[in-house]
Structure 1
């Protein structure tokens, strides 16, 4: 099963934008992938390092919302970044080989400098956070990272760093001898076939032989992961793959509209939280701005100019949307009439999430135990990777 890794900065209680943009995808992915989901508390420090007391509170609020939305600790590994120190170690080692130019050309670097001008971001942590992000991914050998289009450049940087690391450190001094030893472990028949497939690929460029050789290695359950990686590299004519290059898993562009038509965001004050009461939901939607040209009930309106219709696109059936368009343009329905099915739909979506969150808040020890178990499992995986990394670099002293 392919491994997927994703994280979120602890911004506190989440809203419908997080649910539709990220969490529903997580819930779907955990059914088909080996998922690692983490609280990116170190990443939060890159921009709000002076708000330490807020970060601590936000961590638990966010985890409660994850669980309430259906992220299942029996199907996924949930953990806190700063509790797995291997993230920091790999970040340090990767920083030794990362050219400054690679970081300065990351598109989001200059964008965030402009957007967060009121903060002091002239720090190494802010410049180097893509390296930390790369370490987060590479330390678990994740093959996929679910991201939006604006984050694809970060996954590409991760791929470049993995490639650079493997080029510099993947070729062990005794690589060929270790690879030949690994071949002998396959058994006579499989070893003979492997050597033949390797010869066909390297001498004649036979891609079918390469694919057969890769499948043969995957079928050898008696090999260690390190030996399997050596044989992959030996087959291809390179070195051992120490760090896995991940792929960007583009998530559907789920732009959740806020109450004012802009993207939903707490900073805009236009969000509906996942724990909003029915009364608050009704009040927020009833007071949403509508088509400014529709001053009186008898005035016709234009749904395409109305923020309320943006939400109907998310929550309403085609029949309801047709009813809204016809009724609005003919003044057959008023704005409150238009908002009523939307209020009911949002209340129906939020109610079970809110109830599960309340139950989890009443049992904080359960939430902490889930995270504690997840941290232990994450650390086991990360520790195994770092043993290989240290050995490849030459830091495994005996």
Structure 2
């Protein structure tokens, strides 16, 4: 059961408040190691120094999954389980469900009046996603307007820090463009700008060597992966196709096994020695993969066990989501009221 809520305290002075972070994931499938490297382990660390809101973005998931809303609904709990399993603490971070926050939809509608279609189509992240999904000109309107909805999310929580991958940085810039337009229209600073927090480790490549890891492409490793799934994924991992014998010199660059070791191997000195050995020859791919598998098994075993334990108590997970969503509803509604007043909208 959740602990009793703490007694209300007087509000902190602005200079004493912690910076606000908004982050989250679309609820379209279980989270994988790409999510872990790109944001999850950062979130675990940042919850001790920031006021952090984690948005389960089921409404945004519908922008390209409207044909299968059941998948989106089902994965709300699955993503929440992944959050809790990796170490997100509901006493430190607020988990909330996007579709249950009506202020976000109204803010999106208001912000759409401050953005042109041409600007949305120029967004590099949107352009790449449209290409990857093969939409061409048959683009769902909700998908094209995704940057505006994201701006509504970020500003509704008054977030000033948004952890994202480098490919998502244009989304934060477009959010700030909206903020500047709203503030200029209001004649005062109604909303704060946000900065992108980009992790030091770049995007984790898929097992097959493709730049983007995706469950739908079958090249990802889920955080809940069983030991045999981990072993199978590492065995299938793309390495150096020209490294035919252990005695041959091998190439580290573009080698997925080494890219994953860069992300997960904490013994950097030993890893550099391993790379040097591989480059000069005398080190087989299987030796590299065994080291990687040992690291992944040790990393994922406690996450998998915590997740299984939490899954046996869905009432607890639902209580976490309800408490967090209630808190987020109050926060986002307050921002909506301020934006409405700043724009001079009619009141009764």
Indicate yes or no: 2:108 matched with 1:87.
no
The 5 Å alignment of 1:166-315 reads 166-168=183-185, 170=186, 239-263=187-211, 264-296=213-245, 299-304=247-252, 306-315=255-264
The alignment partner of 1:78 has SS state of strand
Aligned length: 327
Structure 1: runs of 5 or more not aligned: 171-238
Counterpart Cα distance in 2 of 1:86 and 1:384: 9
Q: Name the stretch that deviates more: 91-100 or 75-84.
A: 91-100
Q: In 2 relative to 1, CA 322–86 (structure 1 residues): closer, same or farther, beyond 3 Å?
A: same
Q: In 2 relative to 1, CA 311–301 (structure 1 residues): closer, same or farther, beyond 3 Å?
A: farther
The alignment partner of 1:255 has SS state of coil
Q: In 2 relative to 1, CA 313–124 (structure 1 residues): closer, same or farther, beyond 3 Å?
A: closer
Deviation at 1:82, TM superposition (A): 0.5
- Counterpart of 2:315 (choices 365, 370, 377) is 365
Matched with 1:10 is 27
The alignment partner of 2:24 has SS state of strand
Residues 190-247 of structure 1, C-alpha deviations (whole Å, 9 max, x = no match):
xxxxxxxxxxxxxxxxxxxxxxxxxxxxxxxxxxxxxxxxxxxxxxxxx432222222
Q: In 2 relative to 1, CA 113–320 (structure 1 residues): closer, same or farther, beyond 3 Å?
A: closer
Indicate yes or no: 2:273 matched with 1:322.
yes
Indicate yes or no: 2:69 matched with 1:37.
no
Matched with 1:232 is none
Deviation at 1:280, TM superposition (A): 2.1
Deviation at 1:379, TM superposition (A): 0.7
Q: In 2 relative to 1, CA 328–247 (structure 1 residues): closer, same or farther, beyond 3 Å?
A: closer
Indicate yes or no: 2:286 matched with 1:336.
yes
The alignment partner of 2:115 has SS state of coil
Deviation at 1:17, TM superposition (A): 0.9
Matched with 1:108 is 125
- Counterpart of 1:152 (choices 151, 164, 169) is 169
Counterpart Cα distance in 2 of 1:388 and 1:293: 61
Deviation at 1:289, TM superposition (A): 4.2
Counterpart Cα distance in 2 of 1:257 and 1:392: 44
Counterpart Cα distance in 1 of 2:143 and 2:70: 20
1:259–1:288 CA contact under 8 A, matched in 2 = yes
TM-score by length of 1: 0.76
- Counterpart of 2:297 (choices 340, 343, 347) is 347
Counterpart Cα distance in 2 of 1:290 and 1:384: 52
Deviation at 1:37, TM superposition (A): 1.0
Indicate yes or no: 2:6 matched with 1:58.
no
2:29–2:215 CA contact under 8 A, matched in 1 = no
Q: In 2 relative to 1, CA 312–127 (structure 1 residues): closer, same or farther, beyond 3 Å?
A: closer
Q: Name the stretch that deviates more: 300-309 or 364-373.
A: 300-309
Deviation at 1:341, TM superposition (A): 1.9
Q: Name the stretch that deviates more: 131-140 or 261-270.
A: 261-270
Structure 2: runs of 5 or more not aligned: 1-17
Indicate yes or no: 2:147 matched with 1:130.
yes
Counterpart Cα distance in 2 of 1:334 and 1:391: 66
The 5 Å alignment of 1:11-26 reads 11-26=28-43
2:163–2:198 CA contact under 8 A, matched in 1 = yes
1:313–1:321 CA contact under 8 A, matched in 2 = no
Q: In 2 relative to 1, CA 46–325 (structure 1 residues): closer, same or farther, beyond 3 Å?
A: same
TM-score by length of 2: 0.86
The alignment partner of 2:45 has SS state of helix
Q: Per residue, is there more helix in 1 or in 2?
A: 1
Counterpart Cα distance in 1 of 2:281 and 2:189: 65
Residues 160-180 of structure 1, C-alpha deviations (whole Å, 9 max, x = no match):
212212222x2xxxxxxxxxx
